[in-house]
Structure 1
Amino acid sequence: MIRVKVCGITREEDALEAARLGADALGFIMAQSPRRVSLGQAASIIQRLPPFLSVVGVMADPTEEELREAVESRMFDYLQFHGNEPPSLLANLPIKTIKALGISLREDLEALESYKEAAHFFLLDTKVKGVSGGTGQPFDWSLLQGVRFSRPFILAGGLGPKNITKAIRQASPHGVDINSAIETSHGIKDHRLMGMAIMAAKGRTPKTREVIIHDT
């Protein structure tokens, strides 16, 4: 079963609706982005989430202090990296990691080789100069055909209700990352589009998972 990550969460209502619709993971961006949230903002949403939902912190070349705070917060199940972080940094973290890579040519995939022992998952996004993720544009999925990956990979880049089924069929990812194609504006999720994308990815009607609000 394809796993679905809804990234760029900035609002509690979007996080809870994603959980209700059957998302498997939520991403909170702490790198430079129109969807950036602080650690405190992420915490206020995460503490309201139901159990068995994975939480991903998204970073790009974090400072030592930023990385330490994210790890020590114990809020995240995974940290996802979009910068030029060396494999040794990921390998030494006491948390599961996702290494993101921009793709425009098949040769771009060669960079993953050095992370095969350091990262638990790869995330493949569209390469756009000067942008580290969140491009809102798909890349040529045929570049992935016939490639044997050393780690499970998540497909990202402009995925939404209109193209997610084709993307899964063509690229055969372990999971998909949806963000800009299910938004009305940066960080504001359209719940109808989100439900349609999750349904299309999983090939069925979205779950109606019961969401229990955890009072603090």
Structure 2
Amino acid sequence: MAVRVKICGITRLQDLHAACDAGADALGFVFYEKSPRHLTVESAAMLVRDLPPFVQAVGLFVNAGADFIETVLQTVPLDLLQFHGDETAADCMRFGRPWIKAVRVNQDTDLLKCAADFDAARGLLLDAWVPGVPGGSGERFDWSLIPPDLSRPIVLSGGLTPDNVAEAVRRVRPWAVDVSSGVEASKGIKDAHKIARFIANAKEAS
């Protein structure tokens, strides 16, 4: 199975083109004001309009109000919603769009229960648990904490880089990998060479 690759935190048109040219399957657009990769609704709409066919647009939200998410959906043609906060399954389902739920993993995380609680999700995005940070920390977690019999597809995130993504794909065998800071020149600014290496290494390992 060829692993899918999502490049998250796209803020510039040139980064969008670099990711698509390198073979990204999905791009992430962040609607969380505390993130250095945050976009306005108008900026996100402009970027998503430039996506080529068959590359998914993913909108990332953290405890966002339903009215705000509805406003985004009226303007930005998102294919998938990604929830990174304390949202319940009912919160995630109310928009009638496919969605995934992010889970921050440490030794106390019951991933089997998470998979059962969010059984309507297209998958679980597994990220590192860092106090006070809902995601995008660039920290790696212990992959051995992932049970082999999760009922939902895994999107592996957290501290992935062009140098370790092949190992991650071989060891975890996730459905997809997700990277943001690991392919950046600076916060919110992607590095086209790192993107190309990341995608090539991930695909080759799978």
What TM-score, normalized by structure 2, do the two folds share?
0.94
Q: CA deviation at 1:65?
A: 1.6
Shift of 1:147: 2.6
Shift of 1:159: 0.7
Match for residue 60 of structure 1? 62
Equivalences, count:
202
Over residues 17-45 of structure 1, what are the superposed CA-to-partner deviations in whole Å (9 max), with x where a residue is unaligned? 10000000000000130110011111111
1:210 matched residue in structure 2: none
Match of 2:116 among 113, 123, 128: 113
Quote the residue 2:139 is aligned against.
137
1:11 equivalent in alignment to 2:12: yes
Equivalents in 2 of 1:189, 1:69: separation in Å? 27
Pair 1:108–1:131, CA change in 2 (3 A):
farther
Inter-CA distance 83–130: structure 2 relative to 1 (3 Å threshold): same
Q: Report the Cα offset of residue 67 of structure 1.
A: 1.3
SS, match of residue 52 in structure 1? coil
Matching residue's letter, 2:126: L
- When the two chains are superposed, the root-mean-square deviation of aligned CA atoms in Å is 1.3
Whether contact under 8 Å (1:106, 1:143) holds in the other structure is no
2:38 is equivalent to residue 50 of structure 1? no
For residues 72-124 of structure 1, what are the alpha-carbon distances to aligned partners after superposition, in whole Å with 9 as ceiling and x for unaligned?
Answer: 2351000100011111122232110010010012634133321113x111100
Secondary structure (helix, strand or coil) at the match of 2:109 reads helix
Q: Secondary structure at the match of 1:161?
A: coil
Q: 1:137-167: per-residue Cα shift (whole Å, max 9, x none)?
A: 11111111x4312211100011111100111
**Counterpart check, 1:127 vs 2:117:** no
The whole-number CA distance in structure 2 between the counterparts of 1:45 and 1:74 is: 9
Per mean C-alpha deviation after superposition, the further-off stretch among 67-76 and 147-156 is 67-76
Q: How does 1:22-171 map to 2 (within 5 A)?
A: 22-31=23-32, 32-73=34-75, 75-105=77-107, 107-109=109-111, 110-117=113-120, 119-144=121-146, 146-171=147-172
Tell me by how many angstroms 1:169 deviates: 1.2
How high is the sequence identity, in percent, across the aligned residues?
A: 39
The aligned residue for residue 194 of structure 2 is 193
Which 5+ residue runs of structure 1 have no aligned equivalent?
205-216
Residue identity in the other structure for 2:133: V
Are 1:102 and 1:108, in contact at CA under 8 Å, matched by a contact in 2?
Answer: no
For the 8 Å contact 1:71–1:95, the answer to whether it is kept is no
1:182 aligns with 2:169: no
Quick one: distance in 2 between partners of 1:36 and 1:48?
18
Give, in angstroms, the shift of residue 2 of structure 1: 0.3
Aligned counterparts of 1:168 and 1:29: Cα–Cα separation in 2: 25
